[in-house]
Chain A
């Protein structure tokens, strides 16, 4: 209860500070609209359906791109962790491409796919795969070798050992890798939506972009808030249950 009060108080103070800043008159309301304007925009966009529609388009792209990214990245990461050849080839490739900011894929995606849904997905996948590969790889490498030895003496070899020992043993790192992949997917998608105009769907990034074009600062800030909230919700819905499971079994997370 006390925690809820503190958290609510913190955000109310942020809002109040914002309100005071706009009322001081030092900044033009065009550049810094008061919270009430942003709330008004959000309410209006919610009622005319444009916000929900954009959020749906964006989340759909995100989930599809992320799922493909993880489906490619997880096995690749497990492969690079076991074989020096895969590590030297795919591992090096992943390490190099992971440092490439995902916006850099946009020119290439535009030329290859044009202004299409595929271009957006391509950027999201490229932004996700490499960080998932690297996180999974380092996760599988951090498994104590004693697990594998113990499993072998009990008759678990090959596929059995992989699915019932190596994979669950690397779960903590795999989950944090997937979480990192999620963050990268989200960033890549926003970059793609801001730069690639796709006529098949109007996402949150486009709303942000047109807010800027129209000088509608209330829209820009409102959409940014929505993006933050979606990120928080995704964390709570997708990852918190896993992390709670891991903390309970591994006995971690209590300082």
Chain B
């Protein structure tokens, strides 16, 4: 019965289209050109990673796709609809878990579900339970946020983002604060979940191997002003192991390209 609800609800992954987006950050003294004429298309169900050195505007771009920030020019389309604010079809996972300490784990996962129309309390709990099981935290649904480890918190954040069944999942360096082992477990989780419940995913990271391990396509960005420089299709078979030699070979090539974008200083 559980799977009935989820199968029935399962939303189709949306396609995304970023059309000549530009962005400046202005302060009274300076103006920083954060994004310059970004155009990017993401197919429905595709897993894309934005990779670049810090300051290349990748997080800003993700915020714009999420609808949390308005671009100065250009627009974002999600399934041919203009994005003009955040919406629950595009869920975001942040660098910090951003869980609410006044709610327990289940309450956090159910937060987005409460704002989705047409669900009874019982259904909300079923869906939240299902997603907590999916990330392996079913036993912790009554725990408080501070009682969880960093990796567990990020798992809850993943369950919270998946529970309302969004069509797009946007992830802003969600693994950067975790230790290597926890991170590798989460790579496995993400790959497994993405294969079973297809979503369009855009992941921002500065970790090249992480990007290759997870995505269909790696998009390289360079700073000042932030723009897209190159794209790599990754066709390694899944599930991928981040420590495999094939992956390392590709990573070497991409890292070399990335280094070329850094301003040449102290040479």
CB within 8 Å of B: which residues of A? 144, 146-147, 149-156, 160, 165, 168-169, 171, 248-251
Contact = CB atoms under 8 A, between A and B. Distances in A.
B144 A155 contact: no
A251 B145 CA distance: 8
A30 B92 CA distance: 73
B interface, by DSSP: helix, strand, loop or mixed? loop
- DSSP majority for the A interface? helix
Residue among B86, B87, B160 having the largest count of chain A Cβ atoms under 10 Å: B86
Interface string B190-227: 00000000000000000000000000000000000000
Contact of A156 (B68, B91, B101, B115): B115
Contacts of A156: 111, 115
Lowest 4 CB-CB distances: which A-B pairs, in order? A251-B146, A154-B112, A155-B115, A150-B98
A146 B144 contact: no
A155 B112 contact: yes
Given A146-B94, A153-B68, A153-B88, A168 B147 contact: no
B96 interface: yes
B51 to A, nearest CB: 23
A144 B146 CA distance: 16
Contact of A146 (B98, B116, B147): B98
Given A160-B115, A251-B146, A251-B147, A168 B100 contact: yes
Contacts of B164: 154-155
A229 to B, nearest CB: 33
B92 A150 contact: yes
Contacts, number: 63
15 contacts: A144-B98, A149-B92, A150-B94, A150-B98, A151-B111, A153-B66, A153-B86, A153-B90, A153-B91, A155-B112, A168-B102, A248-B144, A250-B146, A251-B145, A251-B147
A152 B111 CA distance: 11
B68 A165 contact: no
Contacts of B86: 152-153, 155
B170 to A, nearest CB: 8
Nearest to A251: B146
A155 B116 contact: yes
Interface string B57-89: 000000000111000000000000000011110
B68 A169 contact: no
A149 B99 CA distance: 11
Given A153-B91, A155-B88, A160-B115, A250 B66 contact: no
Contact of B102 (A150, A153, A154, A171): A171
B101 A251 contact: yes
Contacts of A150: 92, 94, 98, 100
Given A153-B92, A251-B146, 12 more contacts: A147-B98, A149-B68, A149-B94, A151-B111, A153-B86, A153-B91, A154-B160, A155-B87, A155-B112, A249-B101, A249-B146, A250-B101
B259 to A, nearest CB: 31
B100 A169 contact: yes
Contacts of B96: 146
A154 B86 CA distance: 8
Interface string B1-39: 000000000000000000000000000000000000000
Nearest to A164: B111
A160 B112 CA distance: 12
A60 B12 CA distance: 61
